[in-house]
């Protein structure tokens, strides 16, 4: 059985998270890139830092033939209701996602890797995030309630099954969402609850979902989306965490895994009403500044590709 990168299935994340997105420069030497990634893996293993390595479509195909089906770069998603809301596309070639209780150790290891990649890969963006209270989003709502239950179902939801291209790997959606927290906090609690489709105090699912609710867009069911009488389909598992920048920008770093990419795209298109649906009201208060898809290959594929 192919082995997933262990940090994908580890829900006990360290409270400090670091996302680094990179792309190759002209004349990049793949041999150097491979050796830096190998050292990064070893450094993280030595310090017990959780590391997930995700590759964009262009770098993955240069590293291995074990490429999953239907792996597409992130493309701009636009609303169709005249609101101008959109989910930006900022596809890069490599993502390091690291988490640990020790921010200093993460900083040092990613710094060393970035220095060693100079002249071969540029850092396109990075974000440091943290765990807020009881897995809260900055809106004050609990984030993660609808994740696969029990947690060991994450493997069946997120990992490409054996026998398929990319077996043991996982598709990643990584997006930095910017919240209008002041606007959000002006809404009454019942309005806020209608936006998510869950209660604020304890994340109880509202029996009747407003058409604009987040759950009415992302809770995919075998019948209509959000119809809780039908079984769920195409589940994903999320590991999102909040961030706060020095300039006052705040929001959620959305991070999700799935064994196919289409359900990630389907949910985003629904949220933006890209196919004429009602837009997710959450996008009145939050929109992404970045968006990329990556694939996190199995440990065996990584070992062979980086050797």
Residues that bind ligand HEM (CB under 6 A): 137, 139, 141-146, 173, 177, 196, 198, 203, 214-215, 218-219, 232, 236, 252, 254, 256, 264, 267-268, 282, 286
55 vs 254 by CB, closer to ligand HEM? 254
* Placement of tokens 């984030």 in the chain: 143
Q: Name the 3-class secondary structure at 230.
A: coil
Bridging pattern class, strands 50-55 and 94-100: antiparallel
Q: How far apart are CA 122 and CA 115, in angstroms?
A: 10
Quote the tokens at residue 234. 């195409």
- Shortest distance, CB of residue 41 to ligand HEM, whole angstroms? 28
- Shortest distance, CB of residue 262 to ligand HEM, whole angstroms? 11
- Shortest distance, CB of residue 195 to ligand HEM, whole angstroms? 9
- Shortest distance, CB of residue 137 to ligand HEM, whole angstroms? 4
- Positive or negative, the CA dihedral 111, 117, 119, 122 is negative
167 vs 264 by CB, closer to ligand HEM? 264
- Shortest distance, CB of residue 116 to ligand HEM, whole angstroms? 33
What angle is formed at CA 200 by the lines to CA 196 and CA 204, rounded to 5 degrees?
A: 75
Cβ atoms of 287 and 272 within 8 Å: the answer is: no
CA distances from 112 to 38, 95, 117, 248 (A): 12, 15, 9, 28
47 vs 269 by CB, closer to ligand HEM? 269
Cβ atoms of 255 and 238 within 8 Å: the answer is: yes
- Shortest distance, CB of residue 252 to ligand HEM, whole angstroms? 5
Cβ atoms of 9 and 112 within 8 Å: the answer is: no
Helix 30-47, helix 299-306: angle, nearest 10: 130
Q: Name the 3-class secondary structure at 120.
A: coil
- Shortest distance, CB of residue 111 to ligand HEM, whole angstroms? 29
113 vs 252 by CB, closer to ligand HEM? 252
93 vs 137 by CB, closer to ligand HEM? 137
Q: Name the 3-class secondary structure at 163.
A: coil
Q: How far apart are CA 92 and CA 20, in angstroms?
A: 10
Q: Closest CB to ligand HEM belongs to which residue?
A: 146
Residues in the chain: 307
CA distances from 194 to 119, 208, 216, 280 (A): 49, 9, 10, 11
- Shortest distance, CB of residue 121 to ligand HEM, whole angstroms? 27
């Amino acid at each position: 059985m192919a082995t997933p990168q262990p940090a994908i299935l580890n829900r006990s994340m360290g409270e400090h998270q670091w996302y680094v997105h990179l792309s190759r420069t002209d004349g990049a030497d793949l041999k150097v890139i491979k050796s830096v990634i190998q050292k990064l893996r070893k450094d993280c293993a030595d310090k017990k830092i959780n590391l997930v390595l995700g590759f964009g479509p262009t770098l993955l195909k240069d590293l291995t033939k074990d490429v999953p089906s239907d792996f597409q770069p992130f493309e701009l998603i636009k609303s169709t209701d005249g609101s101008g809301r959109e989910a930006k596309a900022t596809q890069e070639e490599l993502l390091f996602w690291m988490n640990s209780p020790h921010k200093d150790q993460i900083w040092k290891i990613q710094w060393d890797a970035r220095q060693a990649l100079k002249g071969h890969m540029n850092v396109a963006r990075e974000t440091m995030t943290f765990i807020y209270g009881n897995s809260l989003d900055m809106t004050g709502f609990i984030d993660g309630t609808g994740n696969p239950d029990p947690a060991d179902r994450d493997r069946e939801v997120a990992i490409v099954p054996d026998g398929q291209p990319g077996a043991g790997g996982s598709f990643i959606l990584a997006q930095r969402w910017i919240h209008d927290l002041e606007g959000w906090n002006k809404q009454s609690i019942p309005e806020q609850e209608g936006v998510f489709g869950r209660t604020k105090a304890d994340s109880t699912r509202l029996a009747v979902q407003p058409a604009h609710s987040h759950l009415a867009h992302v809770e995919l069911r075998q019948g209509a989306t959000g119809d809780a009488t039908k079984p769920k389909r195409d589940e994903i598992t999320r590991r999102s965490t909040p961030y706060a920048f020095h300039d006052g920008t705040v929001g959620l770093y959305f991070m999700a895994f799935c064994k196919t990419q289409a359900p990630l795209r389907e949910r985003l298109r629904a949220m933006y009403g890209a196919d004429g649906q009602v837009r997710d009201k959450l996008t009145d208060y939050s929109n992404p500044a970045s968006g990329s898809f990556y694939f996190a290959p199995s440990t065996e594929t990584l070992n062979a590709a980086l050797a």
